Amino acid sequence: MSDDFSSLDPNVQWIVSEARRPVTVDAAARGRLLEAIRREPRPDRSSPVVAWLLHPRHFALPPLATLAAAAGLVGVGILTGLAFNWDGRAPTEQGSPVAVDSQLPDSGASRVIKFVLIAPQAARVAVVGDFNGWDSTATPAVRQADGTWATFVKLRPGRHEYSFVIDGTHFVSDPNAPIAPDDGYGQNNSVVVVGGRSS
């Protein structure tokens, strides 16, 4: 399947050429950006080991037995919370929900996925997806002390679509996850892949 520029339909080539033209944006926007950056604290250096430990998508624990999972997951929750701050996604900074997930090895082929949403203003949060029939009452998240909401779902290997539901009506996708095609209701769902890369 060749799709170099020269092999494109001439009219598509024209569209590409036009789309490649520089765009003009508000000249003051760059100035505002640099002002905002100068107000930021200096970014921290992370050692590769620390960065790996704090990376929400690659953090993993040794296989956990089901009965021992609860205690182990408390530690994961703490580390994941730290990851938000290292990533600059604290609730007060972001001002909007942000979701991450961590895959925890399970004893079988399935994996336990942690879904976290930063939504300090929410009264209720739930995760819906193809794994629970999109039932907003099936998988409620629990509010954490830092304003985040978290819940765990055991998923079979494969691709799963999901979304968060805030206060029963407001659907929020994970901005850092791949987005599934529009489901026909104007909602872009997120995708998590169990047993492979999730983003």
Partner 1 sequence: MSDAADVQRVLSGDVDAFARLVDRYYERCARFAVRMLGNRDDAEDALQATFLRAYRSLGKYQERDKFSAWLYRILVNQCRSIASRRSQRERVFIREEAVLLNAPDRRPTWTGEDEEFVQRVLAELDPLLREAFLLKHVEDMSYEEMSALTGVGVSALKMRVKRACDRLRTRWEHIKDE
DSSP letter assigned to residue 107: S
Residue 162 · residue 131 · CB < 8 Å:
yes
Binding mask 107-136 for partner 1 (x = CB under 8 A): ------------------------------
When asked if residue 67 is in the footprint of partner 1 (CB under 8 A), the reply is no
Interactions with partner 1, residue window 3-32 (CB under 8 A)? 3, 5, 8-9, 11-12, 15-16, 18-23, 25-26, 29-30, 32
Of 111, 128, 87, residue with least CA distance to 198: 111
Per CB under 8 A, which region of 45-53, 58-66, 111-119, 123-131 contacts partner 1? 45-53
Interactions with partner 1, residue window 74-93 (CB under 8 A)? 86-89
Of 96, 77, 61, residue with least CA distance to 141: 77
d(CA 67, CA 197): 27
Among 82, 154, 188, 195, binds partner 1 (CB under 8 A): 188
d(CA 177, CA 99): 8
Amino acid at 87: D
CB of 70 to partner 1, least distance (A): 29
Environment class of 134 (CB within 10 Å of its CB; exposed 0-12, middle 13-18, buried 19+): middle
Q: Which residues bind partner 1 (CB under 8 A)?
A: 1, 3, 5, 8-9, 11-12, 15-16, 18-23, 25-26, 29-30, 32-34, 36-38, 40, 42-46, 48, 51, 54-55, 86-89, 96, 172-173, 175-176, 178-179, 181-182, 186-188, 197-199
